[in-house]
Amino acid sequence: MNQDQLKQAVARAAVDYIKPKLDTRSIVGVGTGSTANYFIDYLADIKGHFDGAVASSEASAERLKAHGIPVYDLNAVDEVVVYVDGADETDPRLNLIKGGGAALTREKIVAAVAQEFVCIADGSKWVETLGQFPLPVEVIPMARAHVARQLVKLGGDPVHRAGVITDNGGEILDVHGLHITEPAAMEAAINQIVGVIANGLFANRPADVLLLGRDGEVETLHAPVEPGI
């Protein structure tokens, strides 16, 4: 299987994984990106098994609506039974880097609300230590230079993702050169910088389950009991 086929395989597996957890009142959290897009397309096959979705981006909301899946404002929803999304990197503890598609802040919010976070990824996303993929940091535009200087002090090499404005009106700095041995501490340290909206480390709220496509198969991996290391 090539990378695209692996993305499709994990997306299909995610629908099979969540279907028994759903009833006609359930709201499904839906992520952003090429793997999440496949998930949305397969999710449409089980329309009627759940009530609707909340989306982590305008793009995903549009794709859901195009399939006739109702999309709710997160503020109007009491409970998100499960959140399914891709990642740019995952380590063996299911700490993630996300935000390659600039959707990290809304992804983090939906993940925070969801009872269970199911990550879907092809094997190219698997790393022993996070940081080979540049870490996306969403910033208030007027704070970009200040945040960049602080990120240099943390050992990174931030690069402005020129021309990209997020769904929240933020800008993105992609931080190169980080070898993230303590993801939860790094996530917290970056959040302390004034002007940061969110960063793409999901370590204080890692995935609960990873459906990983590699060697032609989909493996189901669970996060360790004690997250955040």
Would you name the residues annotated as active-site residues? Answer: 107
Please report, as residue ranges, which positions from 13 to 32 form the binding site for ligand R5P (by CB under 6 A): 31-32
Q: Let me know: does 9 contact 24? Beta carbons within 8 Å.
A: no
Please report, as residue ranges, which positions from 76 to 95 form the binding site for ligand R5P (by CB under 6 A): 85-88
Q: Let me know: does 133 contact 199? Beta carbons within 8 Å.
A: no
102 touches ligand R5P by CB under 6 A: yes
Between 3 and 129, whose beta carbon lies closer to ligand R5P?
Answer: 3
33 touches ligand R5P by CB under 6 A: yes
CA-nearest of 182, 194, 100 to 147 is: 194
Is 99 annotated for ligand binding? yes
Is 88 annotated for ligand binding? yes
CA-derived radius of gyration, the chain: 17
Q: How far is CA 188 from CA 47, 76, 185, 191, in A?
A: 38, 29, 5, 5
Q: Let me know: does 146 contact 137? Beta carbons within 8 Å.
A: no
Q: Let me know: does 84 contact 29? Beta carbons within 8 Å.
A: yes
Is 32 annotated for ligand binding? yes
Total residues contacting ligand R5P by CB under 6 A comes to: 18
99 touches ligand R5P by CB under 6 A: yes
Q: Phi and psi at residue 122, in whole multiples of 5°? A: -80, 165
Nearest-approach distance from CB 215 to ligand R5P, in angstroms: 19
40 touches ligand R5P by CB under 6 A: no
Is 35 annotated for ligand binding? yes
Q: Which residue is nearest to ligand R5P (CB)?
A: 33
The binding site for substrate consists of 32-35, 85-88, 98-101, 125
